[in-house]
Amino acid sequence: MHSSSEPRPRVLVVDDDDTLRRSTARIVESFGYEVDTAEDGIEALAKLMLDFDLVLLDGDMPHMDGFEVTERIRASVETEHLPIIMITGLVRPENRRRAIECGVNDFIIKPFASEELQMRSKWLIEMKQSVDKLRTRQSRLEDEVQRRTESLRRTLRDMAEAQRRTMEAHVDTIRRLSMAAEFKDSITASHIERIGLYSERLARALGMSPRDIETIRHAATMHDVGKLGVPEAILMKPGKLSEDEIDVMRAHTTIGAQILSGSDSPLLQMGERIALSHHERWDGKGYPFGLAAEAIPLEGRICAVVDFFDALTMDRPYRNAVPVEEVMDMMRADSGRHFDPEVLEAFFTVIDEILDIRARY
C-alpha cells in the first residue's frame, strides 16, 4: 500500500487485444499502481515521454511486435533502464530467448496468475526506483499539471495516429501496385488477398516471428508485380507459349525485383525477395537462378506453395480451375521436387484455414 504522500508507481500496459489490455490494466490497478494503456507499439513508444516505472508488453502485435518495441526502448538513453515484462502467448523457447536478447527483464506466459504478476512487478519497480530516484512522482498532481498532461496525451495520441495512418497508406500503395499487375493478367484483386492471407497462415504455422508474419502478409501480394513489364499478348495468350514467349514471361521475376529494389523498407525488401524467388524449385530446376533447397529464401518457398495452389484452383483464360483435391494430390507428388517438404507439410496442417479463406475471397 502507498500513503497519500508517496508517489504511486506508474505502469504502461501494451496489448493490441482490447479485452486483454483492459483486464490486465484492472489487475495492475488492484496492486495500487497508476496505469496507462497503449493499443500497439507505436502508441507505446510515444507515451513513454510521460514517464513510467514498468512496461507490461504483449509479444505478438501488428505493425511493431513486442520484440521491436523492446529494442527501441533499450536504444534510447531516456528509457534504456526501464523494466519490461513481456506477457505473451508465444510459448516457443526461441521466443523467450529472443526476448532476453532484446532486453526484456522478465517473461510471463498467458494466462497468468495475478499473484505472480504482482510479485514480479513489485521487484522490478523497486529495482528501478532504487536506480533512478529522479523518476519518482507525486501521487496527486496539481490541477494545472494534470491539465498539461492531458494536453500532452492528446498530442501524443495524434502523433501515434498520424504514424499509423502513414503505415497504412504505405501498405495500401503496395496493394494497389500489386493489383495493377494482377489486373493486367486478368486476375481479380481477390487473388491478391488470398495470396497474402495464405502466406500469413503458413508463416505462422512455420513459427516465423510476429513481425515477419505481418510483413509477409503484405509482401507476398507483390509476388507478380513484374508482370507490369510483360506484354499483354503473352499474359493473355489462350494457347501454349513459344520458347521465346516463355523466356519473356519468366522475366517477370527479375523485373519485379528491379521494381522493388533499393528500398530501406523491410516490407519492400521482403517483397523483392519473394518476387525474385517464388518460381525457384526445391530441386534446383526453377527460375530465374536455379536456386535449390534452403538457398531459396523461406518467404519465396512459402509463396511458391500458396501461389501454385491458388493458380490451379482458379479459372484462367486458357483453362478451367482444377478441383482442390486434385491440386493437393499434385502438390504431394511434388514434395521434395517443386516444394520444400517442411513448408508443404505445414501448408496441409492449416488447409482448413486455407479453404476457409478461399471460400470467403
Task: Kindly state whether residues 276 and 353 are assigned to the same domain.
Answer: yes
DSSP string for 72-123: HHHHSTTTTT--EEEEES---HHHHHHHHHHT-SEEEESS--HHHHHHHHHH
CA atoms within 13 A on the CB side of 318: 12
Looking at per-residue pLDDT, the higher value among 311 and 284 belongs to 284
Asked, for residue 149, whether it belongs to a domain, the answer is no
The CATH number of whichever domain residue 67 belongs to comes to 3.40.50.2300
Task: Kindly state whether residues 125 and 195 are assigned to the same domain.
Answer: no
Task: Check residue 103 and give its pLDDT.
Answer: 93
User: How far, CA to CA in Å, does 5 sit from each of 33, 124, 139, 141, 155?
Assistant: 14, 22, 7, 11, 29
User: How many domains does the chain divide into?
Assistant: 2
Q: Residue 34 — very low, low, confident or very high, per pLDDT cuts 50/70/90?
A: very high
Q: Residue 329 — very low, low, confident or very high, per pLDDT cuts 50/70/90?
A: very high
Local structure of 35: helix, strand or coil:
strand
Check the CA dihedral 284-290-295-301 and report its sign: negative
Q: Residue 259 — very low, low, confident or very high, per pLDDT cuts 50/70/90?
A: confident
Residue 187, pLDDT above cutoff 60:
no
Task: Check residue 149 and give its pLDDT.
Answer: 60
Task: Kindly state whether residues 190 and 299 are assigned to the same domain.
Answer: yes
Task: Kindly state whether residues 72 and 200 are assigned to the same domain.
Answer: no
Task: Kindly state whether residues 242 and 352 are assigned to the same domain.
Answer: yes
Average pLDDT over residues 57-67: 90
Give residue 343's domain range. 186-360
Last residue of a domain, one of 140, 167, 202: 140
Of the ranges 185-199, 210-224, 281-295, 310-324, the best mean pLDDT one: 281-295
Task: Kindly state whether residues 120 and 200 are assigned to the same domain.
Answer: no
Task: Check residue 90 and give its pLDDT.
Answer: 80
Nearest to 25 by CA among 33, 35, 40: 35
Residue 129, pLDDT above cutoff 80:
no
Task: Kindly state whether residues 207 and 282 are assigned to the same domain.
Answer: yes
Of the ranges 40-49, 60-69, 143-152, 301-310, the best mean pLDDT one: 301-310
Query: 334-360 pLDDT, tens per residue?
Result: 999 999 999 999 999 999 999 999 888
Residue 159, pLDDT above cutoff 60:
yes
Task: Kindly state whether residues 326 and 205 are assigned to the same domain.
Answer: yes
Place of cell 516490407: 267
291 phi and psi angles, rounded to 5 deg = -65, 155
Looking at per-residue pLDDT, the higher value among 46 and 183 belongs to 46
Q: Residue 139 — very low, low, confident or very high, per pLDDT cuts 50/70/90?
A: very low
